[in-house]
Amino acid sequence: MTHRPPIRIATAGVAVTSLLALSACGGGDDAADADAWILTGGGWPTIDEDLERWNEQAEDGQQISVEEFENDAYKERIRTVVGSGEAPTLIMSWTGGALNEYVAQDRVVDLTDEVGELESRIHESVWQNGEVEGAQYAVPMNDVQPVVMYYNQELFDQVDLEVPQDWSDVEEAIEVFNENDITPFSVAGGSVWPALMWLQYLTDRHGGEEVFQTVVDGEAGAWSDESILFALETIQELATEGGFDADTFTGVDAGQNEDARLLADGEAAMLLQGSWVYATVHSDFPDFAESGDFGFAEFPVLEDGAGDPSNIVGNPANFWSVSADSSEEEQQVALDYITEHLYNEETVQTMVEGGGLPPLNDIDDVIAETEDADFLQFADELVAGANHFQLSWDQAVAPEVAQPLMENLENILLGTITPEEFAENMNAYQD
C-alpha cells in the first residue's frame, strides 16, 4: 500500500530526477557529504524541502545530496545497491522484511545509542517498527497512515443502528442493512489491496501481532496459522453472505475512488480504508464530507479474539537507516541530520497543514489549528494508544513475496481457492 497519498495531497509520478549532484552514492569522492534517495509525489516534496533547508544551514562537508525515484523504480534499485555496498548514506525503507535483510547483511548502522531524544518524541507503536532484535536500525521520517472504518451516519440513522463496536454488532449490522437493501461494506475488490486491510485486522484481532511476525521471521508453515485461516474464511463469508455486494465488489476500483463514492452516495454504510481516504472524500465528494454524516471509527473488537483491540494496521511512516558501507564522515552527517533536524518545527508544521500526521507526541497544538483537527486528533489518538502498528503486509514481506500474496488474495476474493490453498501457496515462499 505505497501508492496512497497522505490526506489533502495528491500523488504525482515523475521520472527519476537528480536534484543535487554533491556526491555519488555509497561513499563517493567527497569525503564528508552524504546522500539520500527519496520518492516522488505524495508528501515527498516536504521531505525534499526539509533536506534543502538542512543543506542551506549546514556547514561545508555537512551537505546531503538528494535523488528522487518513482516508487517502483526505487524498490527495484535500492535492494541491489544496498546488497552491493553502494547504498546512499540515508536508506529509506518501509522496515519489515527489507530492514531485516539489511540488518542480517550488516548493511545498516545500529542507531540505538544515538536516537534516544528522538525516541522520546515518537509514538511507541511506530518507533518499534524500526527495531530489530532489540536494537534500533531505523527511525520514522514522515507521516503515518492508519487504516480506519469510515461510515455514513445517515444510513445508520435510517435503520436505527449504532456504529459497530464489536463483531456481534457487525453481524447485526449486516443483517439489518441487507433487510433494507443497503450494502453493509464498500470494498474495492477489483483493486485487491483494500482487502488486505481486512485480512490484516481480522488476523490481528483473532491471534495478535505475533501471528504475522512468524511470517516475517520466515517460519515454515506460518501462513497456515489458525488466525490467518480464520481471517480468510471470514472474508469469503463477507463476500458470499451479504457483508460485501457479491454481484459487484470485485469490479470496484479504489484507484478511481469508487469505494468511497459508494459510501458518499449512500449505497454502502461502511468502508475500511486508509487515512488518505478522508482527503479523497473531501476533494471528490464535498457535499457528503460537509453533511455531518461522514464519520470515522476504529475497527471493531473481536470478542473472543486473543489480539489486543488497540492494535492498528496501515503505514507506520517511512523510515531512515544509515548505511554501514558509507564512510564515517558520511555516517556522521546522516546522524547529525537525524538527531538535530528530523521533525523540526517548520517541517512538522508543513506536514500537518498538508493533512499529514507525524507520529509525534508533542503536536496537539499544531493539530488543533488545522481545518482537519477532528480527524487528525482521532488518528493521532489511535496511533498513540496502539499497542502495535502493523505495517501493511505487502510491504512487510520480502519484495518477491508481495506479488504472490496479492494474487492469492485476489483468488480468495473470487472464491477460486480455499483458505487452506492460500496458505499452502504462500508457505512455499517461507525460508
| Residue 2 predicted with pLDDT over 60 | no
Q: Which helix (H) or strand (E) holds 255?
A: none
- Rounded to whole angstroms, the Cα distance separating 358 from 144 reads 6
- Rounded to whole angstroms, the Cα distance separating 275 from 170 reads 21
Tell me the one-letter amino acid at 32. Answer: A
| Residue 26 predicted with pLDDT over 50 | no
The 10s digit of each residue's pLDDT in 268-293 is: 999 999 999 999 999 999 999 999 99
The 10s digit of each residue's pLDDT in 148-206 is: 999 999 999 999 999 999 999 999 999 999 999 999 999 999 999 999 999 999 999 99
Query: Residue 123: CB partners within 8 Å, gap ≥ 6?
Result: 359, 360, 361, 383, 384, 386, 389
- Rounded to whole angstroms, the Cα distance separating 64 from 351 reads 21
| Residue 5 predicted with pLDDT over 70 | no
* Sheet strands (E) in 209-311: 268-274, 294-297
The 10s digit of each residue's pLDDT in 52-111 is: 999 999 987 799 999 999 988 898 899 899 999 999 999 999 998 889 999 999 999 999
Contact of 408 with 232, CB cutoff 8 Å: no
- Rounded to whole angstroms, the Cα distance separating 252 from 259 reads 6
Domains and CATH numbers, the chain: 34-144+316-390 (3.40.190.10), 145-314+398-428 (3.40.190.10)
> CA distances (Å), 406 to each of 76, 256, 362, 389, in order?
18, 19, 37, 21
Contact of 393 with 186, CB cutoff 8 Å: no
- Range 122-139 average pLDDT: 97
Write down the pLDDT at residue 381. 97
Mean pLDDT, the chain, as a whole number?
91
- Rounded to whole angstroms, the Cα distance separating 167 from 195 reads 17
pTM for the full predicted model: 0.89
